[in-house]
Amino acid sequence: MAIANRRPRVVIIGAGFGGLEAARSLSRADVDITLIDRRNFHLFQPLLYQVATAALSPGDIAWPTRSIFRNQKNVTVLMCEVSGVDIQARTVTDGTAVIPYDFLILATGAAHSYFGHDEWSAFAPALKTVDNALTIRERLLLAFEQAELSSDPDAGARFMTTVIVGGGATGVEMAGAIAELDHRTLLGEFRHFEPAQARIILIEAGPRVLPSFPEHLSAIARASLKSMRVEVRTGVSVTDCDAQGVTLTGGEKLHAATIIWAAGVAASPAGEWIGAIRDRAGRVEVSPDLTVQDHPEIFVIGDAATVRDVDQHPVPGVAPAAKQMGRYVGRAIAARIRGRGAPAAFKYQNWGDLAAIGRKSAVVSLGRFRLTGLMGWLFWGAAHIWFLIGFRSRVVVAFSWWWSYLTFQRGARLISDRDRT
Amino acid sequence: MAIANRRPRVVIIGAGFGGLEAARSLSRADVDITLIDRRNFHLFQPLLYQVATAALSPGDIAWPTRSIFRNQKNVTVLMCEVSGVDIQARTVTDGTAVIPYDFLILATGAAHSYFGHDEWSAFAPALKTVDNALTIRERLLLAFEQAELSSDPDAGARFMTTVIVGGGATGVEMAGAIAELDHRTLLGEFRHFEPAQARIILIEAGPRVLPSFPEHLSAIARASLKSMRVEVRTGVSVTDCDAQGVTLTGGEKLHAATIIWAAGVAASPAGEWIGAIRDRAGRVEVSPDLTVQDHPEIFVIGDAATVRDVDQHPVPGVAPAAKQMGRYVGRAIAARIRGRGAPAAFKYQNWGDLAAIGRKSAVVSLGRFRLTGLMGWLFWGAAHIWFLIGFRSRVVVAFSWWWSYLTFQRGARLISDRDRT
């Protein structure tokens, strides 16, 4: 690769787990890194469901990206929305500025897919952004306020019903947290109805919840949800979605004021920018070294890519996989700059799967090692605290959990006024 | 007063300091209380400027109103927006429901006044609601992101300038907090400009900042602000306000990306609902017992009222005054229900004035007792922690301050995506 007498320029798009780790792993490399994101913060996505259910504030699980790289002087952080990539000229643009690169890392993540029904997103927000989480929080809390005001029993029943579409880790964690919010936190706070009557319905098209987990952990998760009075419906899909609720295969209609979408994956437009080969979900098909065909200078990592690792296993769309890819790509670039050869193909190290169900139960699968119930929850909690960034977040999140555990209360039960004025 | 054989109905509009205290002081009274607010939470307004400057999250200083009254069973909390009062029929309505009352307490607060230029509010948000605070936070942080992207030095200077209009406690506290954010927290995080160059300009039309404080404390506050490199301009008014900045008397134009309005008071429309006599700011003129002329069943308290206490001193629009009025009215109603006579006129007990300037300085005036500098700040901090509601907020706020004090960091530096997508 012919680079003139200057430091190679690495442009990273996306400050999620993958992009952050790529920039970090280049901390000692003699490069100029530009890290671009449309937001000013890195978000700890695995706990976003706790923002949506009023347990944590957004600030507890988000950190300013430029604060993270304050002392890594080879990183420039820019907040802007990339609109295209010129792979011939090797530049990235947001429509105004033009940013040249020698190496490009696309770490742009994924959104939820509504399977061709994008109009459903207005009725059934997904849980990808802080904005999504605050919208869901608002709807969950507002539905109960409306139930208190309503004198119509049918409307009341609808206000007190929440449907969650998708039984993966996000759906299961949301269902457990909402059951706790409705049946425990809000107990005794209304005078015209009983929050304990609230219905939470989890819909999964496949035969079991947590499909990526070992089968007996799915069964345990389902039993835990049942004990929290979540109605789990498997083997049934959503065929329609509107302001009144959802329609299921077979025509059954569930009236619900709050619908949450936790199904399907649609990649970001990064694959389109570079005209790369993509799978049905829009993820870029990458080589074993995570580069794009014919473009050894372009890497795609995390949820934006569809990757089979050296053992031909598909790599799941989870935070540890994105981080491992980021680290791999950072090291690969550093090696190439130093004139070393191509590294061995990317190999995903699966440390395990975790999902929390409510405030004192979780299922954990680490190789042959399994934990469930309270022990599972303690492991889950410790692992999540460990991966938070900085002392402040660790203390605040740990304290919030401990306080919620003792009191059943939640620290951020605000209905924002922004949408409604 | 002829009340049939049922419990008297007390309707309170507004869950601020006054409304909350009125409901609490009726906890043992044999009444049915309906507490109405358009939001679902009580807000600790005195610390809202810390949300606007990214130090605290909204959840840290707001509590669900119905959670506060969970165990006070004579209170029903309703979240809705009152649109009118029928003083003949003695009912309150939100356009749909009709809520009858025997006693009505209007505790609807005040907004900032733009002195007939309401169009300025788009350029210069005030600091009354959580939404306001998040808008200001977004603008302060976004201006610096834009400065990092900009290559035009004039635009850059505008992005790095903040103007605060109004030198009362809110304006002074905002100016100090912004100086800290710009000059300390953001230091070293940008590659294309130096945040220490940011300008913060505080405009006060009168001759001194903190006009309600003793004169020598105003001088100390001004010196503190100067040492934090806040430019204080007294004796000058704003004559125009647009997206580019503000124009001052004399025609001088200050180019600023962020303008914050902390001047003037405009009461809520409560006075119009009941057709009461109002002062120029729209505040209801009440009798010495806080009732409205010819309507002994209607009370107006807090910032919605203009009150001269028994000594003919005007009562200031501060939280302790609103709380004292709420308590007074609650007791007056309880006494009347028990058939006791009218209470003595309301008398305001002035405990003192406090204003913090940055992270380790404050001015405190309590009767003859004065504190400034770090001692003032410690007193200010302890007093504010004391008045927060509940164990969780006290711990989280105290920890956040301690952490910010040591690290200069701020825990909630998020630019929300809601407004811009």
**CB contact (8 A) between residue B64 and residue A396:** no
Shortest CA gap B224–chain A (Å):
28
Structure confidence by residue, pLDDT tens digits, B248-260: 999 999 999 999 9
Q: How far, in Å, CA of A347 to CA of B420, rounded?
A: 39
Q: Within a 13 Å sphere around the CA of A172, how many CA atoms are in the beta-carbon half?
A: 27
- Is a pLDDT exceeding 90 seen at residue B308? no
Shortest CA gap A333–chain B (Å):
23
pLDDT recorded at residue B5: 76
Burial B70-109 (b: 16+ CB within 10 A, else e): beeebbbbbbbebeebebeebbbbbeeeebebbbbbbbbb
Could you give phi then psi for residue A4, rounded to 5 degrees?
Answer: -65, -175
| Interface A:B, Cβ pairs < 8 A | 153
- Is a pLDDT exceeding 80 seen at residue A313? no
- Is a pLDDT exceeding 60 seen at residue B1? no
- Is a pLDDT exceeding 50 seen at residue B179? yes
Structure confidence by residue, pLDDT tens digits, B22-70: 999 999 999 999 999 999 999 999 999 999 999 999 999 999 999 999 9
Q: How far, in Å, CA of A260 to CA of B271, rounded?
A: 42
| Residue at A355: amino acid letter | A
Residues of A in contact with B414 (CB under 8 A): 40-41, 58-59, 62, 64, 130
> Is B334 within 8 Å of B29 (Cβ atoms)?
yes
> Which of A64, A145, A191 minimises the CB distance to B40?
A145
In chain B, the residue whose alpha carbon lies closest to the alpha carbon of A188 is B70
Q: Within a 13 Å sphere around the CA of B221, how many CA atoms are in the beta-carbon half?
A: 34
Q: How far, in Å, CA of A244 to CA of A257, rounded?
A: 7
Closest CA to B114 of B263, B250, B283: B263
Question: Which sign does the torsion angle of CA A215, A198, B41, A128 carry?
Answer: positive
**CB contact (8 A) between residue B66 and residue A417:** no
Q: Which two tokens stand for residue A165?
A: 């579409």
Closest CA to B13 of B65, B67, B74, B73: B65
pLDDT recorded at residue B419: 45
Count of CB atoms situated within 10 Å of the CB of B199: 18
> Is A305 within 8 Å of A284 (Cβ atoms)?
yes
Q: Where in chain A is the domain with CATH 3.50.50.60?
A: 9-38+80-112+266-337
Please compute Rg for chain B using Cα positions: 22
| Residue at A84: amino acid letter | G
- Is a pLDDT exceeding 50 seen at residue B11? yes
Task: Say whether B343 sits in a helix, a strand or coil.
Answer: coil
Mean pLDDT within A152-164:
93
Q: Point out the residues of B that are catalytic.
A: 173
Q: How far, in Å, CA of A325 to CA of B257, rounded?
A: 39
Nearest 5 degrees, angle CA A287-CA A292-CA A294? 105
> Which of A59, A76, A409 minimises the CB distance to B412?
A59
Pairing of strands A98-100, A91-93: antiparallel
Among A21, A138, A173, A297, which one carries the catalytic annotation? A173
Shortest CA gap A145–chain B (Å):
6
Pairing of strands A32-37, B266-267: unpaired
| Residue at A92: amino acid letter | V
Helix (H) or strand (E) holding B387: helix B373-387
Q: How far, in Å, CA of B264 to CA of A228, rounded?
A: 52
Q: How far, in Å, CA of B363 to CA of B176, rounded?
A: 12
In the stretch 85-114 of chain B, residues with CB closer than 8 A to chain A read: 97
Could you give phi then psi for residue B363, rounded to 5 degrees?
Answer: -115, 135
For residue B232, the 8-state DSSP code is E
In the stretch 282-341 of chain A, residues with CB closer than 8 A to chain B read: none
Torsion angle of the four alpha carbons A407, B44, B395, B358, in this order, in degrees rounded to the nearest 10? 170
Is any Cβ of chain B less than 8 angstroms from the Cβ of A247?
no
Could you give phi then psi for residue B343, rounded to 5 degrees?
Answer: -75, 170
- Is a pLDDT exceeding 80 seen at residue A4? no
> Which of B131, B145, B411 minimises the CB distance to A417?
B131
Is any Cβ of chain B less than 8 angstroms from the Cβ of A53?
no
Q: How far, in Å, CA of B39 to CA of B22, rounded?
A: 18
**CB contact (8 A) between residue A399 and residue B400:** no
Question: Which sign does the torsion angle of CA A350, A356, A361, A363 carry?
Answer: negative
> Is A50 within 8 Å of B392 (Cβ atoms)?
no
Q: What is the ipTM of this complex?
A: 0.92
Structure confidence by residue, pLDDT tens digits, A133-151: 999 999 999 999 999 999 8
Confidence of residue B4 (pLDDT cuts 50, 70, 90): low
Q: How far, in Å, CA of B136 to CA of B416, rounded?
A: 11
For residue B294, the 8-state DSSP code is T
Residues of A in contact with B399 (CB under 8 A): 392, 395-396, 399
The rounded percent of chain A whose pLDDT value lies above 90 is 78
pLDDT recorded at residue B421: 34
In the stretch 111-170 of chain B, residues with CB closer than 8 A to chain A read: 129-131, 134, 141-142, 145, 148-149
Q: Which two tokens stand for residue B375?
A: 């001692």
Is any Cβ of chain B less than 8 angstroms from the Cβ of A71?
yes
For tokens 């997103």, the residue is A121
Shortest CA gap A293–chain B (Å):
32
- Please report, in angstroms and rounded to a whole number, the separation of the first and last CA atoms in chain B: 56
> Is B365 within 8 Å of B352 (Cβ atoms)?
yes
Confidence of residue A67 (pLDDT cuts 50, 70, 90): very high
Q: How far, in Å, CA of A220 to CA of B182, rounded?
A: 51
pLDDT recorded at residue A267: 82
pLDDT recorded at residue A3: 55
For residue B236, the 8-state DSSP code is -
Confidence of residue B418 (pLDDT cuts 50, 70, 90): low
Is any Cβ of chain A less than 8 angstroms from the Cβ of B389?
no
Q: Which residues contact B46 (CB under 8 A, 6 or more apart)?
A: B319, B384, B387
Residues of A in contact with B142 (CB under 8 A): 40
- Is a pLDDT exceeding 50 seen at residue A72? yes
Shortest CA gap A385–chain B (Å):
16
- Is a pLDDT exceeding 50 seen at residue A419? no
pLDDT recorded at residue B68: 96
Q: Within a 13 Å sphere around the CA of A72, how many CA atoms are in the beta-carbon half?
A: 24
Question: Which sign does the torsion angle of CA A318, A320, A321, A325 carry?
Answer: positive
Global confidence as pTM: 0.93
Structure confidence by residue, pLDDT tens digits, A233-244: 999 999 999 999
Sheet with A103-106: strands ordered across: A75-79, A32-37, A9-13, A103-106, A295-300, A291-292
Q: Which residues contact B323 (CB under 8 A, 6 or more apart)?
A: B17, B18, B21
**CB contact (8 A) between residue B67 and residue A421:** no
> Which of A97, A190, A417 minimises the CB distance to B149?
A97
Is any Cβ of chain B less than 8 angstroms from the Cβ of A417?
yes
Task: Say whether B346 sits in a helix, a strand or coil.
Answer: coil
Q: Where in chain B is the domain with CATH 3.50.50.100?
A: 118-264+359-420
Among 3.40.350.10, 3.50.50.60, 3.40.30.10, 3.30.1600.10, name the CATH number for the domain at A9-38+80-112+266-337.
3.50.50.60
Instruction: Report the mean per-residue pLDDT for chain B.
Output: 92
Shortest CA gap A288–chain B (Å):
35
Mean pLDDT within A178-189:
94
pLDDT recorded at residue B153: 85
| Residue at B50: amino acid letter | Q
In chain B, the residue whose alpha carbon lies closest to the alpha carbon of A41 is B414
Q: How far, in Å, CA of A131 to CA of A129, rounded?
A: 5
> Is B116 within 8 Å of B236 (Cβ atoms)?
no
Mean pLDDT within A105-122:
93
pLDDT recorded at residue A204: 97
Q: How far, in Å, CA of B322 to CA of B317, rounded?
A: 7
Mean pLDDT within B168-185:
95
Confidence of residue A175 (pLDDT cuts 50, 70, 90): very high
Q: Which CATH architecture has domain A118-264+359-420?
A: 3-Layer(bba) Sandwich (3.50)
**CB contact (8 A) between residue A59 and residue B190:** no
Helix (H) or strand (E) holding B43: strand B41-43
- Give the DSSP per-residue string, B185-226: ITTT--SSS-GGG-EEEEEESSSSSSTTS-HHHHHHHHHHHH
- Is a pLDDT exceeding 80 seen at residue A417? no
